[in-house]
Amino acid sequence: MAKYILWHNPRCAKSREGLKILEGMDVEIRRYIDNPPTCEELKELLEKLGMKPSELVRKKEKLYKELELKDKSEEEILEAMCQYPRLIERPILVKGSKAVLGRPPERFKELIDEI
């Protein structure tokens, strides 16, 4: 049985809220800022989420504006997210071939309730 993996940033309030929802469950914490994903891992995550890079990038992040990502291709946005993982929206809960963006964190229940 696949276990849960939480892409977590402890400095993020939404990420901490998501972690509380998962209390008592067998969850592997992936601190993706400290342990950045490869571009291949990020592509797999996007596939599980059913999202494009432009849908997962943090548009309010100062770096988003500095890199002028608004006018970039999906591939360029993906490359930026690989290079600067703080651009990745969070929190994200993964289980097997599925994932959900915890915006709001209560969305985790969609994946948890599937069991």
**Tens-place pLDDT, residues 53-103:** 999 999 999 999 999 999 999 999 999 999 999 999 999 999 999 999 999
Residue 82 catalytic?
Answer: no
Q: Check 6, 12, 46, 82 and give the catalytic one.
A: 12
State the pLDDT at residue 60.
Answer: 95
Contact predicate 15/90, CB 8 Å: yes
Asked if residue 1 has pLDDT above 90, the reply is: no
In whole angstroms, give the CA distance from residue 97 to residue 99. 7
| Lowest-pLDDT range of 17-26, 71-80, 95-104, 105-114 | 105-114
Asked if residue 46 has pLDDT above 90, the reply is: yes
State the pLDDT at residue 5.
Answer: 96
The residue-averaged pLDDT of 102-106 equals 94
Calculate what percentage of the chain has a pLDDT beyond 90.
Answer: 91
The residue with tokens 């930026």 is 80
State the pLDDT at residue 115.
Answer: 45
Around Cβ 65, how many Cβ atoms within 10 Å?
A: 11
